[in-house]
Structure 1
Amino acid sequence: MDTSFLSNDEISRLSFLPENRVLPKQSASDWSGYLNSMGMGQALEVQLRASSLIRALTSKTIHLDFDGWSRDGVRPWISARQQALTELQEYLGIGIYSVESNAQIRNYAKLKNINISSLSVGWLVEHRHDDPVIGLLLKKRNQDNLLKRYRDELAGLQNHNGIVKLSGTWNPYSSYSGRFTAHEMAMTALPKAMKNYFVAPFRRSSPNVYVSLDANQIELRLLAGASNCKLLIEQFEDGVDLHRYFASKLFETNQSNVSPAMRKLAKTLIYAMLYGAGANRLDKITVKSGLQIRANPISVLQSLYPEVTALLQRFRQGKVLYYGLKPTKFQPRIGVSWLSSATKQNLPVQSATALLMKQILVELVNKVNVVNVIHDEFICLCNERLIDETQQCVLKAFGVAANKLDLALPLANILSTQQLGGNYYDNY
């Protein structure tokens, strides 16, 4: 198996070697034999097939109606920024020109015995509860950064139609979990509201559209299949809103009484537990929400889905590293650094998701035009008349990919499909 086109970073992460380490000089067959012997043969095979496809996403673009986005899309950020400025003026008794300057805000705050040691976002986040002025300055800085990144820096990229072509440089193995991401224009971190202003090219009287095909609760589905958790599998088949259901247990109320805020907290707690959060972290999340739960989240998860919690415990206590939900022969460490219990628990799930998404990309070659991948969401460009066909093709790819990777994946109600933005005439 030829590994010559895999980067050193890819091979290092597949081998759980430290980053930036000079690799031993070995042939492609030696690396292949080593990784196969350590239980990473499947991951290597998938990476070999998917790596070039992921890199090819660098040449794909999503067209953004910048006129509409910069006029209407960023309006909530502008409003939030203005509100922060107004409140800062009232607290500090300063004018509009002074409040535009972060340094001036710090100077006036000092006169009121409010110490702002640093203007960095990190410091402001850490101290945001010390004084309302610090919290408001953080809010202003956050809005400033959003407007700079997603409005001001894009403004110069418009073409004569007012279109900005969004693209990124893709890394096919950006973390030890195997996740692939884009950097520069971070396609995996585009604001959700921006999707409303995507405009697919409309060519030769044949309207195209951008379509989002989002896998619902992929990590929970993979855990349900791997642990054979009967209740969870049944809930997926019945289309149960798992987060609303979990919230009803946390708050000891009927599902009809669960508010959006209660559901959001339940969702946050579920994924925090899946990724290894302990009781203290869960308490902090709950306190921050401002809500009062009546049941212990860990106890609720254990009582509802004991098969899942038992599997997570196996990962957490394992003497070997699990990858793609399966044991390898690696000790749970990167180089000489041992992994935390939380990382030992969440790496198997995250790596299984990454493997699955890569294999799906392989299955979709020459069938669907994938222009972006955001964790467990595919954004595709297709003809307006072929949305249903595209959905079915992607759904089939999920099943085929899971089968090839020997992952038990409940497929019922897995895809949410949504057309993004509109389209326009491409006259050139």
Structure 2
Amino acid sequence: MKRVRNGRIHGKVNTNGTVTGRCTHSYPNIAQVPAVRAPYGKECRELFKARDGYVLVGCDASGLELRMLAHYLAGFDGGQYGRQLLEEDIHTVNQQAAGLKTRDQAKTFIYAFLYGAGDGKIGEIVGGTAREGKALKQRFLTSLPALNALKKAVEAKVKRSGFLRGLDGRILPIRSEHSALNTLLQSAGAVVMKQALIGLNAHLATSNWRVMQDYAFVANIHDEFQTEVKPELADQFGKTACIAIREAGRHLKMKCPLDGEYKVGNNWAETH
């Protein structure tokens, strides 16, 4: 509560605060407010609400991490993973590739894998050991040879130079080979969302939206925008934000089309 002034938390944001280009948040770190499904997450997020006379519009990129993966895989699989992502249930595809029992396991597994989780952590997903985690990762890479090739190419580049080039050409210093792919994907997602925000602002300006009257940005966290909007304009704003995400993908020549989705509510628990 000591950070509250006039009913608002005015946190600090560094828009390029990480190596990957993601924003960093401090005083407080608003990005660490627990997700709705986490213990007390719903109760925490319900505390963040729109001011009187406004609603909250939350817009986020659809499957951002996996679309970034599909973009980089396209050079190795001709766009196959991207087509599966758009035309099939990608978590079922991953479930079959990894030989997992459930779709939920596959969903947990793919994000853990992309974030560079170790064998032990991967093993926990199936209630097993590090040995089982190692076997699971190997089975997945064998089933997706393009991913194996991408992973090896990225790690070889890091071994040679110690860095990767981001989507926008920035140098990405890499601490360890196991974090290389995650750093590349996370940076690509950050660049995409920054471009989407630029595009959204351009759309709003040309349509004569009035900042602090028709709308006001309140949070920009990873792959989501949270914005206060006049109720009668909420759906129009959400649709425009989704258009901006799609346009960002085309602008950056992504090899997997991007998309967004939005929710309208009275508080953060209802909009993400």
Instruction: Report the TM-score when normalising by structure 1.
Output: 0.49
Change (3 A) 1:158 1:276: closer
Are the aligned partners of 1:226 and 1:325 in contact in 2 as well (CA < 8 Å)? no
Q: Residue 342 in 1 paired to residue 178 in 2? A: yes
Q: Residue 243 in 1 paired to residue 91 in 2? A: yes
Q: Residue 322 in 1 paired to residue 169 in 2? A: no
Q: Is the deviation greater in 190-199 or in 216-225?
A: 190-199
- Code of the residue aligned with 1:236 in structure 2: it is L
Change (3 A) 1:339 1:296: same
Q: Residue 376 in 1 paired to residue 215 in 2? A: no
Are the aligned partners of 1:274 and 1:312 in contact in 2 as well (CA < 8 Å)? no
Q: How does 1:147-186 map to 2 (within 5 A)?
A: 153=1, 157=4, 164-186=7-29
**Runs of 4+ displaced beyond 6 Å:** none
- Code of the residue aligned with 1:178 in structure 2: it is G
Are the aligned partners of 2:239 and 2:262 in contact in 1 as well (CA < 8 Å)? no
- Code of the residue aligned with 1:384 in structure 2: it is P
How much has 1:378 moved relative to structure 2? 1.2
Task: Identify the structure with bigger relative contact order (alpha carbons < 8 Å, sequence gap 6+).
Answer: 2
- Residue equivalent to 1:70: none
Change (3 A) 1:157 1:168: closer
> How many Å separate the matches in 1 of 2:222 and 2:93?
24
How much has 1:281 moved relative to structure 2? 4.2
Are the aligned partners of 2:18 and 2:24 in contact in 1 as well (CA < 8 Å)? no
Change (3 A) 1:316 1:234: same
Highest CA radius of gyration, 1 or 2?
1
**What residue ranges of structure 1 are gaps of 5+ in the alignment?**
1-152, 424-428
Among 259, 264, 270, the alignment partner of 1:419 is 264
- Residue equivalent to 1:213: 59
Over residues 366-410 of structure 1, what are the superposed CA-to-partner deviations in whole Å (9 max), with x where a residue is unaligned?
Answer: 627432112111112222233332222112222332333333332
Change (3 A) 1:244 1:420: farther
**What residue ranges of structure 2 are gaps of 5+ in the alignment?**
36-41, 205-214
Q: How does 1:6-17 map to 2 (within 5 A)?
A: none
Percent of counterpart pairs with the same letter?
Answer: 27
Question: When the two structures are aligned, how many residues end up with a matched partner?
Answer: 241
How much has 1:219 moved relative to structure 2? 1.6
Among 245, 249, 253, the alignment partner of 1:402 is 249
How much has 1:251 moved relative to structure 2? 5.2
> How many Å separate the matches in 2 of 1:269 and 1:402?
26
> How many Å separate the matches in 2 of 1:301 and 1:339?
23
Over residues 321-342 of structure 1, what are the superposed CA-to-partner deviations in whole Å (9 max), with x where a residue is unaligned?
Answer: 22325777x6x85xxxx73112
- Aligned to 2:253, what secondary structure does the other structure show? coil
